Amino acid sequence: MSIFSRLWRPHSRDKPQNSVGGGWSFLFGGTTSGKAVNERTAMQTSAVYACVRILSESIAVLPLHVYRYTDNGGKERTSMHPLYRLLHDEPNREMTSFVFRETLMAHLLLWGNAYAQIIRDGRGYPVALYPMLPDRMSIDRNPQGELIYTYQSDKGQVKLRKESVLHIPGLGFDGLIGYSPIAMAKNAVGLALATEDYGATFFANGANPGGVLEHPGVIKPEQADRLRESWATQFGGANAHKVAVLEEGLKFHQMSIPPEQAQFLETRKFQINEIARIFRVPPHMVGDLEKSSFSNIEQQSLEFVKYTLDPWVVRWEQSLQQALILPSEKAAIFIKFNLDGLMRGDYQSRMQGYSVGIQNGFYSVNDVRGLEDLNLLPDSEGGNIHVLNGNMVKLADVGAAYKTNEKEDTS
| pLDDT value for 238 | 54
How far is residue 270's CA from residue 386's CA, in Å, rounded to a whole number?
Answer: 53
Give the pairing of strands 147-153 and 156-161.
antiparallel
**2 in a domain, yes or no?**
no
**Same domain for 334 and 216:** no
Q: Which helix (H) or strand (E) holds 35?
A: none
**Same domain for 74 and 30:** yes
**Same domain for 116 and 44:** yes
User: 121 or 236, which is more confident?
Assistant: 121
**Same domain for 168 and 293:** yes
> Per-residue DSSP letters for 115-182?
EEEEEE-TTS-EEEEEEE-GGGEEEEE-TTS-EEEEEEETTEEEEEEGGGEEEEE-S-SSSSSPPPHH
Instruction: Indicate the range of 45-59, 168-182, 393-407 predicted with least confidence.
Output: 393-407
Instruction: Indicate the range of 3-17, 26-40, 257-271 predicted with least confidence.
Output: 3-17
In the structure, what pLDDT confidence band is assigned to residue 183 with cuts at 50, 70 and 90? Answer: confident
**Same domain for 375 and 232:** no
In the structure, what pLDDT confidence band is assigned to residue 117 with cuts at 50, 70 and 90? Answer: very high
Q: Bridge partners of 335?
A: 66
**Same domain for 314 and 203:** yes
**Same domain for 350 and 338:** no
Instruction: Classify residue 386 by its DSSP letter.
Output: -
In the structure, what pLDDT confidence band is assigned to residue 345 with cuts at 50, 70 and 90? Answer: low
| pLDDT value for 17 | 46
**Same domain for 99 and 136:** yes
Residue 115 pLDDT exceeds 90:
yes
Q: What percent of the chain has pLDDT over 70?
A: 67
User: 218 or 294, which is more confident?
Assistant: 218
Q: What does the pLDDT average to over 168-174? A: 89
**9 in a domain, yes or no?**
no
Domain termination site, one of 236, 254, 272: 254
**408 in a domain, yes or no?**
no
Residue 323 pLDDT exceeds 90:
yes
**274 in a domain, yes or no?**
yes
Instruction: Classify residue 236 by its DSSP letter.
Output: S
Q: What does the pLDDT average to over 274-301? A: 77
Closest CA to 161 of 123, 118, 220: 118
In the structure, what pLDDT confidence band is assigned to residue 265 with cuts at 50, 70 and 90? Answer: low
| pLDDT value for 13 | 38
**128 in a domain, yes or no?**
yes
In the structure, what pLDDT confidence band is assigned to residue 23 with cuts at 50, 70 and 90? Answer: very low
Q: Which domain holds residue 355?
A: 346-397
**Is-above-0.75 flag for pTM?**
no
Residue 161 pLDDT exceeds 60:
yes
Q: What percent of the chain has pLDDT over 90?
A: 28
**7 in a domain, yes or no?**
no
Residue 203 pLDDT exceeds 80:
no
| pLDDT value for 193 | 72
**Same domain for 218 and 77:** no
**311 in a domain, yes or no?**
yes
| pLDDT value for 11 | 38
Q: Which helix (H) or strand (E) holds 57?
A: helix 46-61
Helices (H), 325-394: 340-343, 347-359, 365-371
**Same domain for 300 and 168:** yes
| pLDDT value for 348 | 75
Q: What does the pLDDT average to over 353-371? A: 84
**Same domain for 384 and 278:** no
For the chain, what is the domain count? 3
**Same domain for 102 and 237:** no
**10 in a domain, yes or no?**
no
**Burial of 126 from C-beta contacts in 10 A (0-12 / 13-18 / 19+):** buried
